[in-house]
Chains A and B, each alone.
Chain A
Amino acid sequence: MKYNVDNKGFYGDFGGSYIPEMLFSNIDELRKNYLNIVNKDSFEKEFNYYLNKYVGRPTPLYYANRLSEKYRAKIYLKREDLCHTGAHKINNTIGQILLAKALKKKKIIAETGAGQHGVATATVCALMGMDCVIYMGEVDIQRQKPNVERMRILGADVRPALSGSKTLKDATNEAMRHWINNPDDTHYIIGSVVGPHPYPDMVARFQSVISKELIYQLNKVENRNYPDFIIACVGGGSNAAGIFYHYLENSKVNLIGVEAAGLGVSTNKSAATTKLGKKGVLHGSKTLLMQDENGQVTEPYSISAGLDYPGIGPLHAHLFNSKRCEYLSVEDDEAMNAGIELSRLEGIIPAIETAHAFSVFDKLNIKGKIVVINLSGRGDKDLETYIKWGKY
């Protein structure tokens, strides 16, 4: 299993646990306990119960007829947008809140970019009756207003991150500072496959339900359990990790991650980490990181708040380095156009993060192939951005 995390928390050269001592006991507690807890039958049973009855899983695998016609491929959509709260993020928050309960934690904190992870966290906190504090960059609070109000309705305390570019990276800094200040009864629900070990592995495991279902569903409609291509957008990389998970060792499947190029990789307004990043350390792990020659982290940019992050999870850095996955990057306009196209052809308005995954058909040789796209979230939260962009 060359794509699994090793016993030191590394994927190849990437990962590990680069944290100050103030976080050590919390991370160590997680590291020592997470596998025991999540592998218990009782945990699995409860996790599956909530995924089924509360989240609405399994999510459908939908054959996109008109999209398939246009691109002359067999295109299937894995409908994570139909999850309760509107994105894949809740798979992870259900898992982590049950873990937090098992660890007897009383309070939950989280960071959020697009607000989907924040909403998913606020939702499970309401469900379990736990206190919830969400950090969100000031810029993202402006561009994802509906999600801010959803979190507040759900009873979460939404706190603005005011430093740096006031986006996801800065919200993560603030959440980590909060955890340093409140180590005893608080669990930090990280929203993607980033952070110190064991977070990347833990989040990937919770999201791996996506590819587990896909194997079963494809078998039914195609008589084989794997597609030729899987495409997913990559911010930190959790929806991609989830849909790649059970196919990592199957070399017949082309795995494609799509990053946000913002205004273009040759401008200084981009978030295409595999194109612009170098090995570095941020938020507790060694990974690919956008940074200047002095090791200062670059402020990223993307029209989509959920992809606006200067790194990727260490698993993805390893999949990129070892060439197991191909990473493409698309610009704001390409993604927006693809979002409109999906709306017009299939009647589905995607989240702008997700729209990135729909704009690479022309860059891949998919004619006649079976293609699965992870439809990671719906676009309700992005109406204002669609309206501002206006070209529809």
Chain B
Amino acid sequence: MNRITNLFKEKKNNILSIYFTAGYPSLNDSIEIIKTLDECNVDLIEIGMPFSDPIADGPIIQNSSNIAINNGMNLNVLFDQLADIRKITEIPIILMGYVNPVYQFGYDKFIKKILDCHLDGLILPDLPFDDYKIQFKSIFDKKNLSFISLITPNTSEDRIKQIDNNSNGFIYMVSSSSITGKKSSFNKNQIQYFNRINSLSLKNPKIIGFGISDKESFEQACKYSNGAIIGSNFIKSLDKNDLSKSIRKYIRLIK
């Protein structure tokens, strides 16, 4: 069973995916965040694995990553925290991060841990296609894990088709040419881009991410895709002193 594929089978619209940085605001907050997101009926969860040099991220995720690393977050700690996560939630969970920490941890050991924790997928935006094919593809196919790739307004049609053919789960549509955390209400160019992608009739569902910051941009994104991802703005809303209350409040504003 793959929870991501099942999700898209059951729900075609308004899929809400939330991204947060593991180890932020405090080292051991991951479980409480996931539990609360489950109670709020979020559809998908992306857990950010913090990296010291996140070149695709804006100030908010740079900051949460730094704090998380200083709090002591690393992949060993994260997988320990997630060991019994399936006692808490059946929401699909995806890990997202940069290559280097995963490479140091060891690709094989990393995949084993994903399976042990019953997670569902992986996004490593700076992993080249060749490395994916050599290191991940066969075991991901065999174990029914999803490897999710990004496309942007500048991704060529040929490449989009190649990505679509090699993806399972969904395609992560980056809303504009930008790093994370830029507020946007969509302009004409972006809408053209969303329409262009939709006209390609790809086999995978699509989720829009980057720059989704409130109910309005979430709903707008959902018009052109199966759902949307909120990251920076969710992280910004977290209140250390009453984590679950701040999460509930935030999700209520979106849904």
Chain A residues within CB distance 8 Å of chain B:
8, 16-22, 24-26, 163-164, 169, 173, 176-177, 180-184, 278-284, 289, 291, 293-297
Q: Are A295 and B102 in contact (CB under 8 A)?
A: yes
Q: Can you sample 19 A-B contacts with CB below 8 Å?
A: A8-B130, A20-B55, A22-B152, A22-B178, A22-B179, A24-B155, A25-B152, A26-B154, A164-B52, A181-B182, A183-B177, A280-B103, A281-B126, A293-B104, A294-B74, A294-B104, A295-B100, A295-B105, A296-B69
Q: Are B62 and A163 in contact (CB under 8 A)?
A: yes
> CB within 8 A of A21: which of B55, B98, B155, B179?
B155
The 8 closest A-B pairs by CB, nearest first: A295-B104, A295-B101, A20-B125, A294-B74, A25-B154, A21-B150, A296-B52, A295-B100
Q: Are B53 and A289 in contact (CB under 8 A)?
A: no
| Residues from chain A with Cβ under 8 Å of B98 in the complex | 281
Given A20-B125, A281-B99, A295-B103, CB of A180 within 8 Å of CB of B179? yes
| Residues from chain B with Cβ under 8 Å of A176 in the complex | 55
Q: Are A22 and B69 in contact (CB under 8 A)?
A: no
Q: Are B53 and A21 in contact (CB under 8 A)?
A: no
The residues in B between 136 and 195 inclusive whose CB is less than 8 angstroms from any CB of A are 149-152, 154-156, 159, 174, 177-179, 182
A27 smallest CB distance to B (angstroms): 11
* Assembled-state Cα–Cα distance A173/B149 (Å): 22
| Residues from chain A with Cβ under 8 Å of B154 in the complex | 22, 24-26, 183-184
12 further interface pairs, Cβ-Cβ under 8 Å (given A22-B154, A289-B100, A297-B52):
A18-B126, A18-B128, A20-B125, A21-B152, A22-B174, A24-B152, A24-B154, A24-B159, A25-B154, A180-B177, A181-B178, A294-B75
| Residues from chain B with Cβ under 8 Å of A291 in the complex | 100, 104
| Residues from chain A with Cβ under 8 Å of B83 in the complex | none
B56 adjacent to chain A (CB < 8 Å): yes
Q: Which residue of A lies closest to B153 (CB)?
A: A183
B177 smallest CB distance to A (angstroms): 5
* Assembled-state Cα–Cα distance A295/B150 (Å): 23
| Residues from chain B with Cβ under 8 Å of A26 in the complex | 154
B127 adjacent to chain A (CB < 8 Å): yes
* Assembled-state Cα–Cα distance A78/B38 (Å): 66
* Assembled-state Cα–Cα distance A18/B154 (Å): 17
B234 adjacent to chain A (CB < 8 Å): no
A381 smallest CB distance to B (angstroms): 26
Chain B residues within CB distance 8 Å of chain A:
51-53, 55-56, 58, 62, 66, 69, 74-76, 98-105, 125-128, 130-131, 149-152, 154-156, 159, 174, 177-179, 182
A296 smallest CB distance to B (angstroms): 4
Q: Are A20 and B126 in contact (CB under 8 A)?
A: yes
Q: Which residue of B lies closest to A280 (CB)?
A: B100
| Residues from chain A with Cβ under 8 Å of B100 in the complex | 280-282, 289, 291, 295, 297
* Assembled-state Cα–Cα distance A291/B101 (Å): 10
Q: Which residue of A lies closest to B57 (CB)?
A: A177
Most buried by B among A18, A26, A181, A278: A18
Most buried by A among B55, B126, B150, B151: B55
Most buried by A among B125, B127, B150: B125
A326 smallest CB distance to B (angstroms): 27
Given A180-B179, A293-B104, A294-B101, CB of A25 within 8 Å of CB of B155? yes
> CB within 8 A of B55: which of A280, A283, A295?
A283
* Assembled-state Cα–Cα distance A282/B56 (Å): 13
B122 smallest CB distance to A (angstroms): 14
Q: Are B177 and A169 in contact (CB under 8 A)?
A: no
| Residues from chain A with Cβ under 8 Å of B130 in the complex | 8
Q: Which residue of B lies closest to A180 (CB)?
A: B179
A191 smallest CB distance to B (angstroms): 16
| Residues from chain A with Cβ under 8 Å of B155 in the complex | 21, 24-25
| Residues from chain B with Cβ under 8 Å of A183 in the complex | 154, 177
| Residues from chain A with Cβ under 8 Å of B149 in the complex | 21
* Assembled-state Cα–Cα distance A148/B182 (Å): 29
> CB within 8 A of A180: which of B53, B66, B178?
B178
Given A21-B125, A21-B174, A293-B104, CB of A282 within 8 Å of CB of B152? no
| Residues from chain A with Cβ under 8 Å of B55 in the complex | 20, 173, 176-177, 180, 283
Most buried by B among A25, A26, A177, A279: A177
A159 smallest CB distance to B (angstroms): 14
* Assembled-state Cα–Cα distance A282/B55 (Å): 10
Q: Which residue of B lies closest to A197 (CB)?
A: B128
| Residues from chain B with Cβ under 8 Å of A25 in the complex | 152, 154-156
Q: Are A19 and B152 in contact (CB under 8 A)?
A: no
* Assembled-state Cα–Cα distance A297/B65 (Å): 13
Q: Are B101 and A22 in contact (CB under 8 A)?
A: no
* Assembled-state Cα–Cα distance A236/B99 (Å): 21
* Assembled-state Cα–Cα distance A297/B135 (Å): 23
| Residues from chain A with Cβ under 8 Å of B56 in the complex | 20, 22, 177, 180
Q: Are A282 and B53 in contact (CB under 8 A)?
A: yes
* Assembled-state Cα–Cα distance A114/B254 (Å): 47
* Assembled-state Cα–Cα distance A283/B99 (Å): 11
Given A180-B179, A294-B74, CB of A164 within 8 Å of CB of B53? yes
Q: Are A18 and B174 in contact (CB under 8 A)?
A: no
Q: Are A173 and B150 in contact (CB under 8 A)?
A: no
| Residues from chain A with Cβ under 8 Å of B156 in the complex | 25
